[in-house]
Chains A and B, each alone.
Chain A
Amino acid sequence: MHTFLAIPVLSIVTILQSAVVSRITLLHGTADIILLTIIAWALQEEVKTGWQWALIGGLLADFLSGLPFGIYTASYLLITGLTLALRVRIWRFAILVQLFATFLGTILSHALSLLAVIAQGTNLSFQTVLETITLPSLILNLLLTIPVYILIQELALQVHPRKIEL
């Protein structure tokens, strides 16, 4: 049931990403709110559908992007695995994990995208990419990660009300 919830939620997030967030740039970097949503969902207590959300989010992003199909799916699945591993180890500080996973996730996602772009025959300067795309994207993602976490936490509480032990 909670897997199906991913379809409307991530569809809205993907539309917002393409129609609004991708237009707001810092140098040439943009935030990735699909990535932030997937990380935030995977970090919620009681949530066991992190992988499914990553898969659906990845497929939606792949349908919308000009990158080779599967790049976003692979990125988001890898990032979910990373987030779940961090959640097990640092479970008390979910927001810290969110920040850390956002940092690593952005780097990982950009690395995979970059590999795909290079494979398509594009010449580029790594320094330029780092300075004008990856670091600005990282800053935007880190700025948005807490608001996204709070929104997803609210959603998770609606879906999985916490049990009170008497």
Chain B
Amino acid sequence: MKRRFPSFFRNIVFSLLIIGLLALALGGYVKTLSRLALTPIMAAQTWVSKQYTGFEDFITAPRDVTAIRQENARLEAENASLQAQIVELQQQLGEYQILAALLDFARAHPEHKYLGATVIGRDISPFLHYVIINRGSDDGLRRGMPIVTQKGLAGRVSQTTAKSARVKLITDPTIKVNVRIQPSRSEAILTGSITGDVTLEQIPQDAKINPGNLILTSGLGGNYPPNIIVGQVTSVRSQEYALFQSASVQPVTDFGELEIVLVITNFNPIDIEPLIPVPETP
């Protein structure tokens, strides 16, 4: 006859065994045993996990690459768009700085009325120094109106169409500007040249001219308003037997970078040619 433990005692024994095992495990006494038991299980789990991960990569990786490529293309497009915006903003900043400087010039010379114009082209002949601006007779431009930049004199309108005008720069070989040299207040004539170099001619021999002297328009001849800065003397050529001195000039305007100019619209050039006496022929 078998004696059976009552279930109550069996449960108590079973619980004590479990608690004992847990206590041994917490105490670190079953490590070797658990290692022996778990090693094959972990190896099997690792193998299954690797196989599953490989399978999952195989299924999902191409989709991820496509998504990354699409994202990359979108970001590249966005980057290009932002770069274009930066370039545009830099250009606007440059224009703003020029306009601000032009405004300063206009404030410093309030006696004139100004009209802003953009340089849209240059003369196609390398022998001439002209620029084409985007304002014409429709905007009130007339032949002979002076053109200035924020730094000083640039030239004068030589021809107009309805929507554009051709401006002869002070570097052109056919231009002549009556100027005054500061501080000596001597009068001279400024001329351009085919290479764009600017010189002062007909400076009186007794005039004291030095490099660095400022050159302003004198207003004589009626072609330009007085007291507009033209440039600075860089070197003086004086010969004892010559009637006049001459000098090289560095214009204040950088004609290579001419972008925006101001047209002085309330200045009417005076044609003094009829007043110049013509020698009578016998």
Contact = CB atoms under 8 A, between A and B. Distances in A.
Nearest to B196: A28
Contact of A124 (B124, B126, B158, B194): B194
Given A30-B126, A133-B127, A137-B126, A117 B194 contact: yes
Given A122-B194, A128-B194, A61 B173 contact: no
Interface of B is mostly: loop
Interface in A122-137: 122-124, 128-129, 132-133, 137
A49 interface: no
A26 to B, nearest CB: 10
Given A18-B121, A122-B194, A64 B132 contact: yes
Contact of A67 (B128, B158, B173): B128
B193 A22 contact: no
Contacts of A86: none
Contacts of B173: 117, 122-124
B121 A65 contact: no
Given A113-B125, A128-B195, A122 B120 contact: no
Interface in B74-109: none
A65 B174 contact: no
Residue among B120, B124, B132 with most chain A CB within 10 A: B124
A18 B194 contact: no
Interface residues of A, number: 33
B81 to A, nearest CB: 25
Contacts of B193: 124
A64 B126 contact: no
B135 interface: no
A146 interface: no
A71 to B, nearest CB: 8
Given A22-B121, A66-B158, 10 more contacts: A19-B120, A22-B122, A28-B194, A65-B124, A65-B128, A66-B123, A72-B124, A113-B125, A124-B173, A133-B126
